[in-house]
Amino acid sequence: MGHYQKPPELYDGLRLHQNENTGGCSPRVIEALAKLRPDQIGFYPPYAAATDVIARYLGVPADRVAITNGLDEGIMALSVAQLRPDGGRPVPEAIVPEPAFEIFRFDTAVAGGALVQVMPHADFSFPLDEVLGAITPNTRVVFLTNPNNPTGVSMPLDAIRAIARHLPPKAIVFVDEAYAEFAGVTFLPELASFPNVIVGRTFSKAFGLAGLRIGCLVGAADVLDPIREAVPVYSVNVAAVAAVQAALGDLDHLNHYLRQVAESKAILYAACDRLGLKYWRSSSNFVLLCAGDRTTALVNGAFERGIYIRDRSTEPGCAGCIRVGAGIVEHTRRAVAVMEEVLCAVR
């Protein structure tokens, strides 16, 4: 039934608030880390082998892959490359359809760019017309996430194509595919036709490598070049390099986790139906649900019982919403039991 050991009890509780793989990484990763030699740890790591393995997994040429210290570093490097103000010229703009990964907003501010937010539809369907209407000659990045975080809702690939075709020169569409393994959909096969699109991937979520920090950017080599210049030298450590190769060599472990996620989401949907909670069907390893005026009581009550879930009420369009990780089935059943206990207590 898979390779998982007893569920980790991190921070004296069950972490379902960060979209992590709470079942952990493949045993092959542990074996690879144990085999690291003193000289490998003492020297700066080579990246060619890991880059080749990642490229084969993603089905792209190796020169189109730039590995990064988690996908977060890639997003920051892209922001620095695209959004730094250039003298007296208009401030570069970043378009962010909301709700979105908060790092897009943070990195835009750090790089000195101007944030252009596009507010969500009530049903979280993708606001294509509004995004196209927000594009100006000063647009330098459009940040997209597919599937979306925190909603878990997928966007149509046609929307990515349309945005890419409407961008001014030197602008980039960035597609964050952190949860692509769960959705089974990717824009990667189309990159050759859309050189102004860069796809970001991470091995933190589906592969359980969040603690080691490794991700990558994928795009046209000449578009990646200025972004690579903003990535610190040797920022990806030797343990992460070894781990990602081992993880990609054990796709059975990945597929077992994907099945667990699918079952867990079904359990959460059924629980929401019983409890009268609105929810959105998710293409990711989490479910966004709406508890309304019971949100604070549910988040705090779950925390007191050792279950961490994420209050997303402050995100645009997400008033009263909570994001719950959906991974290992045993964990999901525990979370549902606590949710039922808390909500029954506050009635």
Q: What tens digit of pLDDT does each residue of 274-293 get?
A: 999 999 999 999 999 999 99
Structural domains in the chain, sorted by start? 14-24+251-346 (3.90.1150.10), 27-248 (3.40.640.10)
For 258, the enclosing helix (H) or strand (E) is helix 251-275
Q: What tens digit of pLDDT does each residue of 299-316 get?
A: 999 999 999 999 999 999
Long-range residue pairs from 62-66, CB within 8 A, at least 24 positions apart, any chain:
63/221, 64/191, 64/218, 64/219, 64/220, 64/221, 64/224, 65/216, 65/217, 65/218, 66/216, 66/217, 66/218, 66/224, 66/227, 66/228, 66/231
| Closest by Cα among 57, 55, 46 to 241 | 46
Q: Give counts: helices (H), strands (E), the chain.
A: 13, 13
Residue 330: count other Cβ atoms within 10 Å of its Cβ. 16
Two tokens at 212?
Answer: 């080691």
Two tokens at 15?
Answer: 């972490």
Task: Give the chain's residues under pLDDT 50.
Answer: 1-10
Contact between 25 and 316 (Cβ < 8 Å): no
Look at residue 345 in the predicted model and tell me its pLDDT. 76
φ/ψ of 239, rounded to 5, equals -65, -40
Question: If you write DSSP's letter for every residue of 80-123 in order, what string do you get?
Answer: HHHHS--TTSPPPEEEEESS--HHHHHHHHHHTPEEEEEPPPTT
CA distance 326 to 318: 19
Look at residue 59 in the predicted model and tell me its pLDDT. 98
pTM (two decimals): 0.94
